[in-house]
Structure 1
Amino acid sequence: MSDAYVALEGGRVVEARSRAPGQARGELVFTTAYTGYEESLTDPSYEEQILTFSYPLIGNYGVRAERFESDRVHPRAVVARELTDDVADWLTHEGVPAVDNIDTRDLVITIREGGAIKCGISAGPDASPEKALEALDECKGMSEHTNIGAQVSVTEPKVVNADGDGPSVALVDCGAKGSIIDSLAERDAVVHVLPHDATPEDVTAVDADILFISNGPGDPANFTDAQALVSEFVGDLPIAGICLGQQVVAGALGGTTEKMAFGHRGVNQPVLDLETKQVVMTTQNHGYTVADPGDKLDVTQINVNDDTPEGLENEELDILTRQYHPEAHPGPLDTLGFFDDVLAMAKSTRRLVTCD
């Protein structure tokens, strides 16, 4: 008899095995990454989602905290073909339901054909199909999580690498991965990590050389405070962004974004640079994309598979964004030089930044 059930949008219920007990609801998505499960599970961009691993065995090299991207597991639940005891114990300790012994190939095909779908999970001794369906009924769409930034952001400003000799970076934490902050600090930048709802006064207070919008979960249209910062400082400060950050920058400058069918989540997404014609492999995790960058941003890189924008720039305004994760973790480091390019935008003679 099964002790876990996965209820899918439309009413289908799939039996599974419980590896970490509990009940959960969220948007069901999948990643094709075959390594880096610790990084994926601690990536804040998976907030309010249920993560399915397409790779069949998850946990074959244990669990090490030094690989974590944040201080907790962010998916609401985890689905795999097989989870090792190490990962199952970790998720149990974190209070995150997990199931395995399920045909993940079938789930991936379902998502690829129909798009990311709502999901409910019931796992453990008291699990039942009815409880899974109840969780499904309570599931919201990602755009309905209007304050999702508050769930993943710092609540107070903090400084990383305070003694650095490099530029001062005001990093707006919309759900930033730790390795993004580390990549800036390793280049001697002083990184001021600000809450997702930071004000222009907060940016001015840290004497910023660069405004940096981080990755994060959900619909970029809900990050109105971050968009307001971009609008406020465009032309006065260099502006950079990664993943959600690219979408926020585009939205603030007259562009539009849209939800993708099933998103890009994995470590082998090919990206073409339109100037050099070079293709690089990238790590990605996003369910929204820039539909139209508007007339202030040029598309400089595109996804080889579907032509969606992967890089936006405006040299005159010192704007540089990437849809993928140059810091990888896990994945290829082909594009790590992005951080050097960002910091190079902080000129020796800085513009005067004022708040009226």
Structure 2
Amino acid sequence: MSAYIALADGRVVAGQSRAPGTGRGELVFTTAYTGYEESLTDPSYAEQVLTFSYPLIGNYGVREERFESDSVQPRVAIAREFTDDVADWLTEAGVPAVDGVDTRDIVTAVREEGAMRCGVAAGPDATPEQARDQLAQAVEMSDHVDIGASVSVSEPAHYPGTGPRVALIDCGAKKSIIDTLSARGADVHVLPYDTTPETVADVEPDVVFVSNGPGDPANFTAAGEVAEQFAGETPLAGICLGQQVVSRALGGETEKMEFGHRGLNQPVRDLETDRVVMTTQNHGYSVADPGDLAVTQVNVNDGTAEGLAGVDIDCITRQYHPEANPGPHDSLSFFDDVLAMATGTDTPPVSAD
């Protein structure tokens, strides 16, 4: 069966349909060579077309216990070759999949021209015109103004624990973030992305934690209001989109990256220790100005902010995913630091110098 990928640069790439259907979104790529199940169920890929740069996807099957959410999140999946296991999974999920294409060419296009809109048509009756029609309907990520509604819990959820009480604002949280907190004994209350400060206050949290998620942090205004309200009163933490939301709430600015960081081998340097760790990342926006926070970690490749901390308040955030899944576990201690901050046993906030 035929498949066609219409790119915003005017090209149409022909491939093979492995799961039929049409779709559209922002074309991005990941350099990860393992963890395809986690990537395909990561809510941060909502409204995107995910291309795998590693050529063979599916070589260890599909196991539900590795999923990071209840569904496949990208609008379309692209690879050089999908195994039948993955193709069958995506077909059952109703997510179009395309292989038989030169993914090196697609990755190069994104690296040179930036993440771009694209449209896809796959199946026995697919045509280039259908792919172009999908492209015409695709919008920029910043235009998905309520993207949080598609990835967040609709009602609060509780994961009991005997440790510090965490109010986790779910902007598209990976399951492994909740699991990692729970494994440390935290009493985790998962709250919808549009939760009000009053609802968070009812939880009486020891720490407010803003999760990862898809899209433009400027569109997560409710989570920003929560961070602003609790700053200085209750410790704050955030991962990925959460770092961006917290920074914006405290006077910072964010910006769209050319093609983002997506993979398992992004090097991050801690400015205090000069230690470099390898990290898992998946984001298309970054903190351009930390506002009232201080930059504590930077990306070795491009210098973007990877860690922030409060100067006068209890607050620590990470742009990468310390919980990994998939990826290296070099930075799991972040969760220990968050819970220590919640109980008042952490080190003092960083100095303004």
- Which contiguous aligned blocks of 4+ residues in structure 1 show a shift greater than 3 angstroms? none
- 5 Å-filtered alignment, 1:100-139, equals 100-139=99-138
1:99, 1:12 → 2: CA distance?
Answer: 16
- 5 Å-filtered alignment, 1:60-139, equals 60-139=59-138
2:172, 2:8 → 1: CA distance?
Answer: 27
Aligned partners of 2:121 and 2:131 also within 8 Å: yes
Identity of aligned pairs, percent?
Answer: 69
Aligned partners of 1:241 and 1:249 also within 8 Å: yes
1:246, 1:97 → 2: CA distance?
Answer: 32
- 5 Å-filtered alignment, 1:16-55, equals 16-55=15-54
In the alignment, what sits opposite 2:181?
184
1:57, 1:103 → 2: CA distance?
Answer: 12
- Pair 1:141-2:140 in alignment: yes
2:2, 2:231 → 1: CA distance?
Answer: 54
In the alignment, what sits opposite 2:218?
221
Match of residue 170, structure 2, among 145, 148, 173: 173
1:72, 1:241 → 2: CA distance?
Answer: 23
- CA deviations on 1:141-191 (whole Å, 9 max, x unpaired) are 00000000001000000101x1x1100000000000000011100000010
- Listed as ranges, the gaps of 5+ residues in structure 2 are 346-353
1:142, 1:242 → 2: CA distance?
Answer: 19
Per the TM alignment, residue 344 of structure 1 is displaced from its structure 2 partner at its CA by: 0.5
3-state SS of 2:342 partner: coil
In the alignment, what sits opposite 2:227?
230
- Pair 1:263-2:260 in alignment: yes
Letter in 2 for 1:77: V
2:173, 2:343 → 1: CA distance?
Answer: 25
- Pair 1:320-2:316 in alignment: yes
In the alignment, what sits opposite 1:4?
3
- Pair 1:331-2:330 in alignment: no
Aligned partners of 1:39 and 1:329 also within 8 Å: yes
Letter in 2 for 1:277: D
Per the TM alignment, residue 206 of structure 1 is displaced from its structure 2 partner at its CA by: 1.2
Per the TM alignment, residue 58 of structure 1 is displaced from its structure 2 partner at its CA by: 0.1
1:276, 1:348 → 2: CA distance?
Answer: 22
Aligned partners of 1:11 and 1:133 also within 8 Å: no
Aligned partners of 1:28 and 1:52 also within 8 Å: yes
Letter in 2 for 1:306: D
In the alignment, what sits opposite 2:304?
308
Letter in 2 for 1:16: G
Aligned partners of 1:171 and 1:194 also within 8 Å: yes
1:314, 1:63 → 2: CA distance?
Answer: 41
Letter in 1 for 2:165: S
Per the TM alignment, residue 315 of structure 1 is displaced from its structure 2 partner at its CA by: 5.1
Per the TM alignment, residue 10 of structure 1 is displaced from its structure 2 partner at its CA by: 2.5
1:88, 1:145 → 2: CA distance?
Answer: 28
Cα RMSD (Å) of the superposition? 0.9
With normalisation by structure 2, the TM-score equals 0.97
Deviates more, 1:28-37 or 1:6-15: 6-15
- Listed as ranges, the gaps of 5+ residues in structure 1 are 350-356
Per the TM alignment, residue 348 of structure 1 is displaced from its structure 2 partner at its CA by: 5.8
Letter in 2 for 1:117: M
Letter in 1 for 2:22: Q
In the alignment, what sits opposite 2:349?
none
Letter in 2 for 1:110: A
Per the TM alignment, residue 196 of structure 1 is displaced from its structure 2 partner at its CA by: 0.1
Letter in 2 for 1:328: A
How many equivalent residue pairs?
345
- CA deviations on 1:49-88 (whole Å, 9 max, x unpaired) are 0000000000000000000000000000000000000000
Per the TM alignment, residue 251 of structure 1 is displaced from its structure 2 partner at its CA by: 0.4
Letter in 2 for 1:166: G
With normalisation by structure 1, the TM-score equals 0.96
1:297, 1:314 → 2: CA distance?
Answer: 5
3-state SS of 1:146 partner: coil
1:231, 1:221 → 2: CA distance?
Answer: 14
Letter in 1 for 2:233: D
Per the TM alignment, residue 316 of structure 1 is displaced from its structure 2 partner at its CA by: 3.2
Match of residue 205, structure 1, among 187, 202, 206: 202
Letter in 2 for 1:307: G
Deviates more, 1:79-88 or 1:340-349: 340-349
In the alignment, what sits opposite 1:57?
56
3-state SS of 1:328 partner: coil
Aligned partners of 2:294 and 2:311 also within 8 Å: no
Letter in 2 for 1:207: E
1:138, 1:216 → 2: CA distance?
Answer: 23
Letter in 2 for 1:242: I
- CA deviations on 1:1-27 (whole Å, 9 max, x unpaired) are x61100000321010000000000000
